[in-house]
Structure formats: structure tokens, C-alpha cells
Amino acid sequence: MKRAALFSVYAVSAVMALQLAAPAASFAGTAKNIIFMVPDGMGLADLTATRIYKNGLDGAPLSFETLKHIGYQRTYSANSTITDSAPAASAWACGEKFNNGEISFHGDGRPFKPSILELAKNKGKSTGLVATSTITHATPAAFGSHVVSRNCENEIARQLIEVTGVDLLLGGGVDKFKSVKADQCGTKGDFIQTAQERGYAVAFSKKELDQAVADGSKKVLGLFNAAGLTPEYTRAAGISEPRLPEMTAGALKVLGKNKRGFFLMVEGSQVDWANHAKDYPYQLGEMLAFDESVQVVRDWINADEERKDNTLLIVVADHDTGGFAINGPQTALLKAGQTVEAGWTTGNHTGVDTLVWSEGPGSKALGKSIDNTDIYGVMVRSMAGLKE
């Protein structure tokens, strides 16, 4: 789609989106900040197994388990009982169903709503995307770009910098931002140079990210691997890549300086990859890092009364991957530090509902059975200080 036509779609769709923010009954607080956290591909058994390993059968819950409201969402896409990450994240980002493979864009030419990230940016808020995959992968892409296929990662990189102008991007994907071969959308180019020209501090290591944060940079592009980041369970000592909790902490320091607030999406991308691979040690490492990242966010929120009143935190998986199950042990009680006997029903995604944990302005509306598209309306209304 030509850029002029794309912006005309945005303009029409913005009106549709803002209509969600009426009528005007007030929440106790307004979501000045929205923090959206995604353990990609996580099912309930993943959580249970991680809690057992970390704290034992009768031990403390994981950080996100203690959020105030718990609900669950349907995950199907516009054309499939079994969704992939592209339409699942697009449903959150834009509040409507998309076909598998589509990134907040209808391939048949129908208009689409602006993403929640774009609405936040239009309100003067800072915006950020953090992932352990390439930052152009399906989930982060859905919030910051509109393309016909998730395989258009070069085009997604271009839009993140040139069109949407997301303030903070942390993850993998050097090869997508500096490409010599065109992607499925026909895009290639050096978008790292473009980012530098547009005022981004560019980081390729944890040390450089820490320096960008210390320097007070308001726009940061952190690309720490050619593709996805190194899995937690295979990381060697002294690796230069930041971990997900470290990227999350850096993002909060950068975005938190905006007095108008921010929208931040944080994805533990490789929970999904671990379940595709049917690799329990891989899954466990990614789950522990994700929960640590949630605790980083909660510590940041709880450090300030204003943040507690005006920050909406949502934790939700886009879909289940693998049908992971705890099959044993059958005759022993596991203690902290011990692992379950694991099994999977498939190497692909499943169609089961996934849980939604939330806290903050508007979160009560998520504490029930919902569709994944409903989360968008809750975020729009909470950002405006309105309720159902």
C-alpha cells in the first residue's frame, strides 16, 4: 500500500478508535502509563512448572500471578482456529481480527484502526518495544507497523523508524535494519543510519545500552544480535547481550522521563520457541527471565504512589504453544530446584484460551472471559480515564 493511502486509512481509523472512549464515566485513575507484557506461547502448565522449580509445590506464586485481576481470552484469528503470533498481537494492538500472517493490516484492503502504540504517541506519550526475538518479529511488529505479511521484516524495520518513530526499540535484528536483500515487501536498506540521523542512540551491547540510558537518551535503538537474542539456558559468562530484565529496566528509565507517560510492550519471545522445540530447559530459562522482568516492572510501579495510581499493567500470552503438560513425577513431591516430567502434544500452536493478569486503571474489565480484541478497547478507555 502506498504511504499516502496508508496515512488516509490511519486518519479514518483514528476516528473509529477514539469512539471507543465514550461515554465518559471516570475510573479511579487514568492510565498515564500502559505496560503490556507477553510471555509468547505460554500455557498454564508452563507457569506451573516454573513456579514449582523456583519455589516448590507449596511455595510463593510467580510475580505476575499476584496481580489483582485474572481473566482469560479467546485466541482464534480471522481465518483460523489456531492463531499465529501476527494476528494475535494485531488483535491486541488494533482491536480487531486479522488473518494469520497479517501484521495490523488487512490484505483485502479494508481499513484498520491505529494501534494502541500509535494512539499513545498521538497523545504525546513515549513508546517502546522490547523483545528477545528480532524487534521486527510478529508481536512487537504488530504494535509499531502495518504490513501484509510478518515476513516483511525489513519493511517493518523501516516503518518502526521512519513511519511510526517508536522511541525505544530493544531486541535482536541487526540484519533486518541493515539489509542488502529485499524482503517479501520489496524493502531493503540501512535503517540504522536512518535512526542515527533521526536522533536515536544506537547500542549493540549491554554496555552501550547502559551508556545510552546514563546519557539521558530519549530515543534508543538497541540491536544486540543479528537475529534473536541468545537463549537464557545457553548464555556464557561475559556475554555482551543484555537479558530481558535488563532491557526492561533500561526501557523504564528512558520512557519514564516523559511527564505525559508512555506505552511499553515487553515480550519474552522465546518461551514460544522453546515449546516449538519441545525443550524444557529452554522453556524454563525463558520463563524465569520473563517473571524476573515482571518483577522489575512491579518494583518500578510500586516505588511511586503516582505510578501505582496511573499505570495499567497487563500480562497475557498470545497463544499456547506445544500443549505443554506436567506428566510427573507420579509418586514424589517436587521441591524447589527440581524439574517436572514434561510432555507436549504438538510442536505447533494450540487453540486453547490463555490467561490475562492485570492491575491498574481499567484492569477490572479484564478479570473475566474476553476475546483478545477486547483488550484494545480497555487500553484506549483507560488511557482516556474512561470506563465501560
Choice among 13, 77, 85, 269 that is catalytic: 85
Q: Which of 346, 349, 348, 248 is nearest to 295 (CA)?
A: 248
Which residue do the cell numbers 536522533 mark?
199
Active site residue 85: yes
Q: How far out from the chain centre does Cα 378 lie?
A: 16
Given a contact cutoff of 8 angstroms between Cβ atoms, the answer to whether 41 and 75 are in contact is no
The C-alpha atoms of residue 231 and residue 280 are separated, in whole angstroms, by 12
Helix (H, G, I), strand (E, B) or coil at 302: helix
User: How many CB atoms sit inside 10 A of residue 205's CB?
Assistant: 15
Which residue do the cell numbers 523456583 mark?
54
C-alpha cell at 323: 500443549
Upper half-sphere CA count for residue 231 (Cβ side, 13 Å)? 18
Sheet with 69-74, edge to edge strand ranges: 201-203, 220-223, 168-172, 126-134, 262-267, 33-38, 311-316, 354-359, 69-74, 369-371
Catalytic positions: 85
